Structure 1
Amino acid sequence: MGASGWDTTLTLIQRIAERLPITLSILLLSLLFGLLLGFGIAVVRIQRRPIPYALATCYISFMRCTPTIVQLFLVYYGLPQLLMLAGVDVNGWDKLIFAVITFSLHSAAYFSEVIRSAYLAVGIGQLEAAYSIGMSSGQMLRRIVLPQAFGIAIPNLGNNVLILLKETSLAFSIGITDMMGQVQIILGNNYGANSLRMYMIVALMYWVLSAALERAFVGMEKRYRKGRVTLAG
């Protein structure tokens, strides 16, 4: 690759990187709301009250068994029509909002199972011991369940965050100019020129982001488990 080729590559990297904040915004907002909703669904599934449990189970099944891009189109095209029936006009909303809603709803189904499995892994014996010494439910959760469950959940939580990052690349399909959206704009303006180079660049950028997140979660797990007694111990 000559000097002009390297200059072109650096220019393309810079132009794609300009949209990194959009990608990260979608990721962080979807992660926040996905965790909150996932926690609520996990509580419903743990309590196992018949009707809420059945609804939560159907929700998880639908979100896990349908393509994310289909869910994105359902929210983007269907939500405005649904809210219009209630007299609410959301056609002026930023497209980013629809993307965050979709990825939050989608990721919540997976986060709920991570949270539920981590809670159940703590063990009924510890819960009974906490009640036997007079702890309230709040004290039990704060002092026994949540500290252990969080440590158990970190690896699976990290895996799901990586999946969420990759799925945010679908946001360009509704016209959001994130990193993938920027790639499509550049290719469109240049009639598909340098398409292989463009896709290699954006693939490497997602790889670097994913590797950084993976290291962050590995480091978080090590720091959290340091000095703690594991369940196996």
Structure 2
Amino acid sequence: MRFKLSTFFEYFVKLLPYLKVTFTYAGLSLLFGIFFGFLFAFFKLGKSRILRGIANVYTAVFRSIPPVVLLFLVYYGIPMVAEAVTGNNMGRKDPILFVIITVTLLATASLTEIMRSAYKSVDKGQYEAGVSIGLTDIQTFCRIIFPQALLYALPSLGNLVIYLIKEGSLGFTIGLVDIFGKANTLNQNTYSNHILEIYIALAAMYWVVAIASEKLLKFAEQRVKRELGRT
């Protein structure tokens, strides 16, 4: 079995259309994860022992469960619970929904710690300075605290994006056809005759996505720094 460069490029091109599926679950999971991550970070930093306990339990549980186990729990568990509550069988027609839920749960657990650490990295004097010049608590957070916390969080967000994309590839186990799922299908259809070209093309695609994500986050970091320099 010899590696053929032309075959590699052929399968690289065939995988390209399925990047939109990968970007869809990674992007939506990141957005939902940021929202819930902020929420649980505030729980952890707040004075309520109950909310702090809920956030601590959540992060401890979902950071310890293997992603593939969590995916199966979501894929098989949610329809069963929904049927028990509503009496209707929701089915499992769209696997991307279950992948988004799973990756969001994983992202939230990681982002809770990222946001908490980023918030604590901002000097407390910044808040006091904002209040002293007449800003409300919300204005102080939005204009002073959040941009600085975001700057601290961005390097970790870059690593998280790559992590979410890789973990989401487990969706092929429940029938999701993203770049990983398509690569498996192509390999099966060719009876593994081009297995090397297919999976090197897949690896190259993940590498390109990782580099692009890193560059994008670096650009965002520089942009935030410039904006902070103007304020």
Q: Do Structure 1 and Structure 2 share a fold, with TM-score over 0.5?
A: yes
After the TM superposition, which residues 1-233 of structure 1 pair with which residues of structure 2 at under 5 Å, given as runs?
5-87=4-86, 88-226=88-226, 228=228
Runs of 5+ in structure 2 lacking a partner? Answer: none
Contact 2:7/2:197 (<8 A) preserved: no
1:158 Cα offset (Å): 1.3
Alpha-carbon distance in 2 for matches of 1:7, 1:140 = 57
Deviation at 1:92, TM superposition (A): 4.9
How far 1:108 sits from its partner (Å)? 0.8
**How high is the sequence identity, in percent, across the aligned residues?**
36
Q: Distance in 1 between matches of 2:73 and 2:221?
A: 36
Cα distance in 1 for residues equivalent to 2:223 and 2:91: 45
On the 8 A contact 2:45/2:116 being kept in 1, the answer is yes
For residues 199 and 84 of structure 1, the distance between their equivalents in structure 2, rounded to whole angstroms, comes to 39
Q: Structure 1 residue 35: deviation in Å?
A: 1.0
User: Following the alignment from structure 1 to structure 2, what is the Cα–Cα distance between the partners of residues 20 and 129?
Assistant: 46
Write the distance in 2 (CA, Å) between the matches of 1:143 and 1:29: 25
CA distance in 2, matches of 1:67, 1:92: 21
Count of aligned pairs between the two proteins: 228
The one-letter code sitting in structure 2 at the alignment partner of 1:44 is F
C-alpha displacement of 1:72: 0.7
The 2-side partners of 1:200 and 1:48 are apart by 51
TM-score (norm 1): 0.90
Please say if residues 187 and 193 of structure 2, whose CA atoms lie closer than 8 Å, have aligned partners that are also in contact. yes
Structure 1 residues 7 and 143, CA, compared in 2 at 3 Å: closer, same or farther?
Answer: closer
Partner SS for 1:198: helix
